[in-house]
Amino acid sequence: MKPRILVVDDEKPILSAIQRSLRDDFDVTVCSSIQEASEIIKAKDLDVVISDYALGSEITGAGFLESLSREKPYIARIMLTGYSSSQIAEEAINKAGVFRFITKPWDDEHLRMVLYSAFKRSSIIRQNIKLVEDIKDKNNKIELTASMIERELKLSAKKIERSKEDISVFQDNLNSINEMLENISSARNFSELVSSTLSGISNIVECDMSCIAELATSTNEFLVYSTNSERKINIARSGSISDLINNMKSGNYSPLILSSIYASQDLKENLFGTKDINSMLVYPITLVTPDDPCKVFMVVLARKNKKIFDREETLRLKDVSLSIRVALERVITTNHLQTALKQWENTFNSILDPLFLVSKDYVVLRVNNAVEKILGKTSTELMGQKCYEVFRGSDNICQECLVRKTKENKSFEYGDVSPCFDRNNISASSYPVFEEDGSINSVIQYNNDKSAEFKLYKQLIQSEKLAALGMLASNIAHEINNPLGGVLAYSQILKKEVPSTDQIYSDLDEIEKACLRGKNIISNLLDFSRDSSNDGKQLVSLDRVVKDTIPLLNICLKGHKLNVNIEEKDIKVNGNLGELQQVVFNLITNAVHASGDRGEITINVSSNDGNANISVKDNGVGIPHELLSKIFEPFFTTKDKGKGTGLGLFVCNGIIQEHGGRINVLSKVGEGTEFMIELPLWRE
């Protein structure tokens, strides 16, 4: 339904212009006099009234709006005038309480925005008025209950002697009841309600101690609330509490008076923490809550003296039980609604992808934190605006708008690319929210950010390429091994046929050494390219890990100064040789990239305190302190685009953690970086 607007102006061209401008979005009624406007206001339910200041009568537009504010305060009032007088503005705001003051000539778009804001304000005021009426209705019910109690007490009072003392006692009780009803009706939470109830009952019924008990069937607990404490009792572990509950159920939750004979010592201690009790009065109150159709509370009073509770005192509790029941239902329902609202908000904001709710008029009703993060604006700034203005900065509905399609088809809609964001990696799905009559109330649009999926997909392609490259390297190594083996064999045969003093012998010796070196490099390459993920762990020497990895990086290390310090030989750990080689390979490669063409790289192998250590240090550019906490995250890289996947250190960290170790890093910008690996040292 369109917002209902009344425009009052004695200039018909103004009325005609406003009506033409607003008729598509608003239900506009126009008139030229206050008398005519008054008749329309009586006959039609309006949301906003726009009035000119000068209406050609004794009463100004401000006076007319002032009277309207008294009669129908929920109607938003807007002053539209060609005067720019501060006196008129002051009169309109202070006396008439206008929502906005707009001067002629006006801007149509601005006028629409003001009208939408005024309509929302009118709706909120209507809701507040309804809420106040509901509260008044409930208070009237409570007052009616109090009136009934008062009448019943007065009838009972006629049966006793009309002495001044009795009348005084009766009046005191009545005042106590009224005070109690007032306090429990204004209680804001359960704790205040318990305190007000117990304090009020102690003035109505003589008792030494009192408490309110709650039967929590979901947790099988008996919750005991007193003015300053709260206790939980496991029903299954307390026979006296179980007996009390069974007696209540069998008696159809009727009041129960227990003398010291029938009240067990265990029950007294559970409820009041003492055995020094002569009698107890248990008054059950059952109510319906959102979670339990038969929620049971018990008001329990206790006396230490010999006087046992009687039927008259039970009737006094009966007089106030309805008010207590209403107050309990109100507090519990309010808490339930607040909890449900908080859970809904938390659920909405816990969705990591952008999610928003818009009205059928494309007005943003709710956005989650992901939308705020992408747009850089708070939900307060976004709500109430048109979605196409917020997301696209446009004055028109998006061409591929899923909200529009959902409204037209009244069904789920999907788009590979969300029209709301300037990013191709976000898809969108929109879902209609229906009213009871089948009309669409609003539309939820879920936008799926597929950036991580794209990154994983690209990494999968890269992994497949690397696997193919490893297989190719393995095949090439096998092919090279065959002729290399022949060259090595012939060089060794020729060495036997040539004197050792001959120059040819020296040349053959160099050929043999080169062949053996090439064979060693190919062997290391085969070991490195082989899939070691399924290999079991075994004793691995760390100096072998380093020495077998370095030859694979000879070309990469050209121009760099490499220092290898192995403090003691044969430092062994229980691990996977191929995986540890992969870690060292990645760390040395990163050091080469970080230290430039003429950098210095130092590798140390040592052991101490039961740990085997490998460190790779460079004198490169270093890593900024604010980035150190992110370097082990997947897809994070400081390298230029196309020079790194952001998975090297992430994989290295995972491998070392699987070996029961850890990687530490020290870095200073402009001085260099050192990665230190700690692994459990193998001991016999």
Specify the pLDDT at position 411. 87
Mean pLDDT of the chain: 82
Q: Are strands 413-415 and 426-434 parallel, antiparallel or unpaired?
A: antiparallel
- Per residue in 371-383, pLDDT (tens digit) is 888 888 888 888 8
Structure-derived torsion over alpha carbons of residues 395, 397, 398, 400, reported in degrees to the nearest 10: -170
Nearest to 112 by CA among 45, 25, 29: 25
- Per residue in 389-408, pLDDT (tens digit) is 888 888 888 888 888 888 88
Amino acid at 166: D
Specify the pLDDT at position 454. 61
Q: How far is CA 604 from the centre of its chain?
A: 47
Rounded Cα gap, residues 192 and 200, in angstroms: 12
Nearest to 318 by CA among 296, 299, 290, 337: 299
pTM over 0.85: no
- Per residue in 459-506, pLDDT (tens digit) is 665 566 656 656 666 666 666 766 877 777 768 778 788 887 788 888
Specify the pLDDT at position 616. 92
Q: Which tops the pLDDT comparison, 290 or 459? A: 290
Residue carrying the six token digits 């952001």: 646
Q: What's 487-506 look like in SS3? A: HHHHHHHHHHHCCCCCHHHH
What are the structure tokens assigned to 272, written together? 């009041």
pLDDT bracket for residue 666 (50, 70, 90):
very high
Specify the pLDDT at position 389. 86
Specify the pLDDT at position 640. 59
- Per residue in 334-349, pLDDT (tens digit) is 888 888 888 888 888 8
Q: How far is CA 244 from the centre of its chain?
A: 43
Residues for the chain: how many in total? 684
Q: How far is CA 412 from the centre of its chain?
A: 25
CA triple 308-311-313, angle to 5 deg: 75
Please provide the DSSP assignment of 621-636 as one string.
Answer: S---GGGGGGTTSTT-
Beta-ladder partners of 224: 213, 231
Strand order in the sheet with 561-566: 561-566, 600-608, 611-618, 672-680, 662-668
What are the structure tokens assigned to 401, written together? 């708008």
Which stretches within 550-617 are classed as H helix?
554-557, 577-595
- Per residue in 558-595, pLDDT (tens digit) is 888 889 898 887 888 888 887 888 888 888 888 888 88
Specify the pLDDT at position 604. 92
**Statement: residue 663 has pLDDT above 80:** yes
Specify the pLDDT at position 457. 59
pLDDT bracket for residue 455 (50, 70, 90):
low
Residue 121: Cβ-neighbour burial (10 angstroms; 0-12, 13-18, 19+): middle
Integer CA distances (angstroms), 334 to 52, 118, 327, in order: 44, 29, 11
What are the structure tokens assigned to 637, written together? 């890289």
Residue 536 gets which letter from DSSP? P
SS3 of the chain: helix, strand, coil, percent, to 5: 50, 20, 30
Integer CA distances (angstroms), 338 to 171, 178, 343, 350, 655, in order: 39, 29, 9, 18, 47
CA triple 262-267-273, angle to 5 deg: 130
Nearest to 633 by CA among 645, 624, 620: 645
Residue 290 contacts residue 251 (beta carbons within 8 Å): no
Integer CA distances (angstroms), 453 to 449, 459, 466, in order: 9, 10, 20
pLDDT > 70: what percent of the chain? 87
Residue 455: Cβ-neighbour burial (10 angstroms; 0-12, 13-18, 19+): middle
Specify the pLDDT at position 459. 61
Count the neighbouring beta carbons within 10 Å of the beta carbon of residue 220.
11
- Per residue in 119-163, pLDDT (tens digit) is 898 888 888 888 888 888 888 888 888 888 888 777 776 665 555
pLDDT bracket for residue 169 (50, 70, 90):
low
Q: Are strands 230-234 and 48-52 parallel, antiparallel or unpaired?
A: unpaired
Integer CA distances (angstroms), 194 to 187, 189, 325, 384, in order: 9, 9, 12, 41
What are the structure tokens assigned to 536, written together? 């079991």
Structure-derived torsion over alpha carbons of residues 636, 638, 640, 642, reported in degrees to the nearest 10: -30
Rounded Cα gap, residues 37 and 33, in angstroms: 6
Tell me phi and psi for residue 483, to 5 degrees.
-65, -30
What are the structure tokens assigned to 355, written together? 């999610």
Q: How far is CA 441 from the centre of its chain?
A: 25
